[in-house]
Structure 1
Amino acid sequence: MHELLTVEEMSRADRWAVARGTSGLTLMENAGKAVAEAVMDRFERTSVAVLCGPGNNGGDGFVAARHLSAAGWSVTLYLLGPRENLKGDAAEMARRWNGAIHALGADAGRGANLIIDAIFGAGLSRPVEGDVARLIDRINEDRTPVVAVDMPSGLDGNTGKARGAAFKAALTVTFFRAKPGHKLLGGRLHCGALLVRDIGIDEKALHDILPSAHENLPALWAGGFPRVRPEDHKYTRGHAVVVSGGVSSTGAARLGARGALRVGAGLVTVASPPAALMVNASQLTAVMVRSVNGADELTSFLEDKRRNAVLIGPGAGVGSDTREKVLALLLSGAAAVLDADALTSFEDIPRDLFVAIQGYFAGPVVLTPHEGEFKRIFKEAEGSKLERARAAAKQAGAIVVLKGPDTVIAAPDGRAAINTNAGPELATAGSGDVLAGLITGLLAQNMAPFEAACAAVWLHGEAGAAFGPGLIAEDLPEMLPAILRELFEG
């Protein structure tokens, strides 16, 4: 269930099901019942306030209230706006509720030990203000547990951004598929635990909707992950090259090289300036070191097409020398991962980089900026993190890995994945260099670039979580064997 549906796509899924014989009342009944069951599974029986809005989210709340009351829970229901304003399925579910209906104001739910938020859901189109905002702020301050129906009220389902006040839920129950706003960082921090429940929409709906956003899970890319075959040897598993910086900044390249080697590249070479050759050689064993001085020598070095994937940027230095090496790399036809200084070196002339990426000779290209580097290169990108990454990928003609706790991987064709397994332990020097090396190592093994970037980001997050507190970047590659074994053999 890695597909993510926008609010609009989820509405299409509802209509798809209705057009094929599943009534809207059935979908609403199933949704509200799923919420009630989640509450009963996870909380001791207590007093609960159900806060209902004027739309279908409120209808789900009426159903949940009915099922909880039937199970012996003490339920008080509040409705935003007059009951006679309810329409369609929501009006019918209000009719089926036999209890009292109280006006929803700033004091709603006071004294309850549990809140069910069924006010707005994911389709919120305007900021939350007035009494509802004061209600949300008060409940958040009181820290009364909140179970959100579909999406905590106040959050945009597509972006995860708060529109004014927004509930901080302990549990969110959504239906059929999660939405981008559940996975992007702002929304994720408000949702608490997330449950996705079946309400009677057939999986075949996805074939018509064709969602382009996904949660970054192995199901998205494991089928294309390079596996070692009995007939393989080191030359069939690709040759990754990592371009090193000068004497004082060689460690980043070595971290990238170690990542490429651990993820399965058959050979890895650090292309080192002559002055840094001994520094690099003294620190490397399985990784080879070669003297490569400047763009012209890099061009010559890459004439051997067995050297098929190249990482440049970590510790490379910002300036014309790095720009020239990047352009030489893009002309070589090798798969390219451009990170850190390789991006910042084009801060004043990003169009030159995009033209080179989209040139006739360029191979697959992956850009791996953090937010600061992203803003230097894609100055005009706006919107949510997902929207910005997609726009950047289309503009550059490359896979863009916009890093962070909710890393977004985007392709020029609109495909995108949101990663959710990266913990705070990854916030350590050199962590991004290892990630860039993982992508390079997978590209060297001819994994498709979007899938390679997704796989590397997921493995990187798993490695950090597996090590836990005290992690330094050197630890990340060493966690990979166990993770890969569990992924493919466990």
Structure 2
Amino acid sequence: MTELLTAAQMRAIEQAAIASGEVTGLELMERAGCGVVEAILEEWPELAEEQGPAPAPPGYLQQEERARRAVVLCGPGNNGGDGFVVARLLHERGWEVEVFLYGDPDKLPPDARVNYERRRVQGEVQAYAKFDPENWNWQTGEVGEVDLIVDAVFGTGLVRPLGSEMCLHEKIGVLTTEVVNARRVAIDLPSGLCADSGKPLIDTREQIGRGKLEFELSVSFHREKVGHRVSDGPAFCGKTVVKSIGLDDLPSSRAATRELASEIVRLARPRLSDKAAESHKYTHGHALILSGGSGKTGAARLAARGALRIGAGLVTLGVPPSAQQEVACQVTALMLARVEGADGFAAVLGDTRLNALCLGPGMGVERARDLVPLALTAKRATVLDADALTAFADDPAALFAQLHEACVLTPHGGEFARLFPDIAKRLREEPKSGPAYSKVDATREAAKRAGCVVLFKGPDTVIAAPDGRCSVNSAHYERSAPWLATAGSGDVLAGFITGLLARGYDPMRAAETAAWLHVECALEFGPGLIAEDLPETLPAVFRKLGV
């Protein structure tokens, strides 16, 4: 697991380290600036060559050359201080650097002020205590000659929407999209983006709609922030790189992190080390997945195949009489049981070796409404997906009253809104201040209300337990797999979770691991993926993991 921090948690860790005397704020700022320059040169090695005087070639070979050019936009806080360090370091490498400060130099925080003065020794800082776009000293005709634009205006510290600064925000947008040849780098996060939610804190989303906050590289420090992984964050951050500023080695920082442990969100990773020295099929669990009627069995069969491939010892499809022949023609390793109505389901549940249930995929709302209560009464590990969630859209409280701690709910956005309409409404609201209400906040609140694990699907899948544990399974950056958005992929995910529950994984671990493997299968297969390919790709993924 990799930790994701909120802006407040990052400040707490830094402040603990500074208060202990192990490091100064000025040292952390210097390390941050060095980390940004290092990340830039690693990302674009062609920029790494030092700029400086070279022997003049013979006159007939002379060509007009220029130094590399950077524009660094600095804000009124410590993020701006990081920007001054970047500007100074680039200047020392022979770059021509233009620095703009939005803010009053006399009101800069102490460490940022020190680095402001250090930069002024090298060259001018154009400061605007009150931003006026008419006075912005930028020649539009020269934009093609800029190699690098660094956004160090607001970073993680922004807690209010951009109002009077909108003109500055627009100017940043122009620079980051119209300067065609320039690389675009944000320190921490693009200005205007909430570090906790990945949502833009601006008075209008018009600039976002035009893509004017999109960067190629964002450089974070110590840990990624939640906003790098959820909502709009990944689209605007481009590639996110984390640079160490030395906090991992400090006792005070480790102590502060331990204090925050229950609140920290984690980036999901698999834990698949469970191996039995002596085992047989029943020691790996027996899962039961209920299907719908004739012509509606495909989703359940996908889920069942996923459960079997991920390691459940046995998987049985519970089908109504109308679908028995259809399913029997489609399955081999999967088992088949006739389940007609509540009485038939109760009879099947009499097999105490059944230790994991999955209801919902292709099941039909009426069938789900009849059988979900019986499944929950059985107190087995249970995944509720699709129709099993929609069946209770008119009365979510009735469902929550029956759920138990061994359940996992797997809603997509529409199903989440039907089960948790008030939470979904709050999540959809335009943020007026920060930290904005995030998908992480919403999923945690939903899990607490439901009393069980909730997996809120999407490219930024969030998984939360009632006790506040939370993780993000992000299909972004190097793990982007847009071809995973295909019919039936969610059914396979439900099957993956069910299979892991059958194997004995606790609900939170089962949901995290299944979501991670789901994306890994998509990446392994590549474009052209359909849902049937996901379970069949698992063996290759397992081999790579050494399982």
Same fold (TM over 0.5): yes
2:341 paired with 1:286 = no
| Distance across 2 between alignment mates of 1:274 and 1:95 | 81
The CA deviation at 1:390 is 1.1
Indicate which of 164, 173, 183 corresponds to 1:145: 183
Identify the range of structure 1 (453-462 vs 93-102) with the bigger mean alpha-carbon deviation: 93-102
2:373 paired with 1:373 = no
| Distance across 1 between alignment mates of 2:481 and 2:43 | 25
Matched AA of 1:449: P
Q: Which residue of 2 aligns with 1:31?
A: 32
Contact 2:4 2:267 in 1 (8 A): no
The CA deviation at 1:235 is 0.8
Matched AA of 1:178: E
Identify the range of structure 1 (79-88 vs 179-188) with the bigger mean alpha-carbon deviation: 79-88
Contact 1:337 1:367 in 2 (8 A): yes
2:494 paired with 1:441 = no
| Distance across 2 between alignment mates of 1:239 and 1:108 | 70
Q: Which residue of 2 aligns with 1:345?
A: 391
| Distance across 1 between alignment mates of 2:541 and 2:265 | 22
| Distance across 1 between alignment mates of 2:294 and 2:12 | 57
Deviations 1:287-321 (A, max 9, x none): 000101112221221122210000000011112x3
Contact 2:376 2:402 in 1 (8 A): yes
The CA deviation at 1:228 is 3.5
2:261 paired with 1:210 = yes
Alignment RMSD? 1.6
| Distance across 2 between alignment mates of 1:175 and 1:140 | 22
| Distance across 2 between alignment mates of 1:226 and 1:48 | 49
| Distance across 1 between alignment mates of 2:328 and 2:267 | 36
Deviations 1:155-208 (A, max 9, x none): 000000112256211111111111110001301111111111111213614212
| Distance across 2 between alignment mates of 1:484 and 1:345 | 36
Q: Which residue of 2 aligns with 1:157?
A: 195
| Distance across 2 between alignment mates of 1:93 and 1:186 | 32
Contact 1:7 1:122 in 2 (8 A): yes
| Distance across 2 between alignment mates of 1:213 and 1:200 | 20
Deviations 1:99-158 (A, max 9, x none): 210135544665332101100001211222432122122124315421111111110000
Structure 1 portions without partners, runs of 5+: none
Alignment of 1:237-316 (within 5 A): 237-316=284-363
| Distance across 1 between alignment mates of 2:544 and 2:499 | 20
| Distance across 2 between alignment mates of 1:466 and 1:40 | 30
Q: Which residue of 2 aligns with 1:81?
A: 103
Identify the range of structure 1 (439-448 vs 386-395) with the bigger mean alpha-carbon deviation: 386-395
Indicate which of 366, 369, 375 corresponds to 1:329: 375
Alignment of 1:37-436 (within 5 A): 37-43=38-44, 44-45=46-47, 46-97=68-119, 98=121, 99-103=123-127, 106=133, 107=136, 111=143, 112-128=146-162, 129-142=165-178, 143=180, 144-164=182-202, 165=207, 167-202=213-248, 204=254, 205-210=256-261, 212-218=263-269, 221-222=270-271, 225=272, 227-319=274-366, 321-358=367-404, 364-381=406-423, 382-383=426-427, 384-421=438-475, 423-436=481-494
Q: Which residue of 1 aligns with 2:510?
A: 452
Contact 2:360 2:388 in 1 (8 A): yes
Against the structure 1 CA distance between its residues 68 and 211, is the aligned structure 2 distance closer, same or farther, given a 3 Å change threshold?
A: farther
The CA deviation at 1:42 is 2.6
| Distance across 1 between alignment mates of 2:69 and 2:262 | 39
Q: What is the SS of the residue equivalent to 1:347?
A: coil
Matched AA of 1:340: A
TM score, norm. by length of structure 2:
0.85
| Distance across 1 between alignment mates of 2:238 and 2:262 | 24
Of all paired residues, the percent bearing the same amino acid is: 48
TM score, norm. by length of structure 1:
0.94
Deviations 1:393-424 (A, max 9, x none): 11101111111111111111111111123521
Q: What is the SS of the residue equivalent to 1:452?
A: helix
Q: Number of residue pairs matched? A: 480
Matched AA of 2:258: H
| Distance across 2 between alignment mates of 1:56 and 1:405 | 32
Q: Which residue of 2 aligns with 1:3?
A: 3
